[in-house]
Structure 1
Amino acid sequence: MSLATIVLVAAVGALIGAVGLGGFLMVPILMLLEGASVRQGVVVAAVAFLASGVVSLALWRRQPGSARGRGGFLLAAAPGAVLGALAVQATVEGVLTVLIALGFTAAGIAEWLEWPRQGREREVAGPAAAGGGLVTGFASALTGTSGPMVAMPMLAWAGMSLRDRVALAQVAQIPIALGATLAFASLGDVPWLLAAGSSAALCVGLLGGALLARRVQVRGLRRLAAVLMWCAAIFMLLKASW
């Protein structure tokens, strides 16, 4: 694992710690600097997010908002991630690359325009919560992202308050990463050394980002995240065409 990769993965962790987004950069970084295929990048990212999810949970426990009472969402996220991991293995490399690029493009547009706008708050529970968890787990594992990129806009549309959806999206990283890691490990397709190094760099960066969170302009960082999503999408599409 090169020094450049370590630095950039730590920067990804810092972005996650500051605004809750940034995991989407893992796959492009690993592809560009480590020569990983898109499938290998997704696998490494999924494993790396497990440790960073635990650190993120410990940090967000001190923040307002609660994930209590959201067991249906969290429980469904794990099997969703397993299905997403299986889909990664079954999808042709070029098709997988394009799917991830499209996901980044849509998420970047939503982030830049600050969609969806928060409307009337509603309780998210029961089958709707479980369905949301299943979709979040599947899409996160398929794209090699940590969970918030998919969960945050979906929970906002469902009517969950900002504080609660941030807390839930952070906690959901753990079942998503655990489900995906178990699935990929059972298939014998995990570069453990690269995953371990990425995990350590992510955790260090995340702690640093959490310290900076109160000193930075969140809206500006979210706009930056949107631009980075589009850059990542362009890179992925160019990669698919090579």
Structure 2
Amino acid sequence: MNGLLELRGVHAWYGRAHVLQGVDLSVAPGEIVALLGRNGAGRSTLARAVMGLVERRGRLLWRGRETASLRTFEIARLGVGYVPESRDVFPGMTVEQNLVLGQKAAKAGRWTIADVYRLFPALAQRAGVQAQHLSGGEQQMLALGRTLMGDPALMLVDEPAEGLAPMVVAQLAACLDELRRQGMAILLIEQKLDFALDIADRAYVLGHGAVVFTGTPAALRADASTRREWIEL
């Protein structure tokens, strides 16, 4: 595997619960990789393992460098952004204050607040509004925008379409596609199959903490048995 991010034989635990069972996965610059599977398959755990938020073992490589011994903030500084399923915006702070908090302290990154507003025009219109008063879609855009302010080369995006109306999901897909065109690598953790496969370059399916499918979106669409056994409810 050759990629910006490479996982080789990665295991992960929550206490005694052995969640990831030797996962191999890669994400290359400028591609969207969909990570699919049912709830409990280990998809969110994989993102947390990459970020050093759970106990893990195996090889986690960032541009060929081992990161397993690094702390979460050190991994983030290397260029890995994380947008958790919970979004984690600061509810009592305005949109613009949330974005300022995402800025790299040491130096200006490629992304400015103006860039984020161009990508997400709805946020520009709500710049002075507290995050707690945003819609779910606006909060998701804010979480993505704040992560961009940290100037990542790769974004781990966990369930961004959860709870959003179809029109908002379509807007979100367009934004992720634009990020890819600008060279961003994205690991998209998602349950909405059509949303993920419409924009992904490659797909992995997890089942019981192991990779049970790797291939193109077209190949997964054609593989009814894999979808039925490991994805569809």
Larger radius of gyration: 2
The answer to whether the superposition gives a TM-score over 0.5 is no
Higher strand share: 2
TM-score by length of 1: 0.32
Greater RCO (CA < 8 Å, at least 6 residues apart)? 1
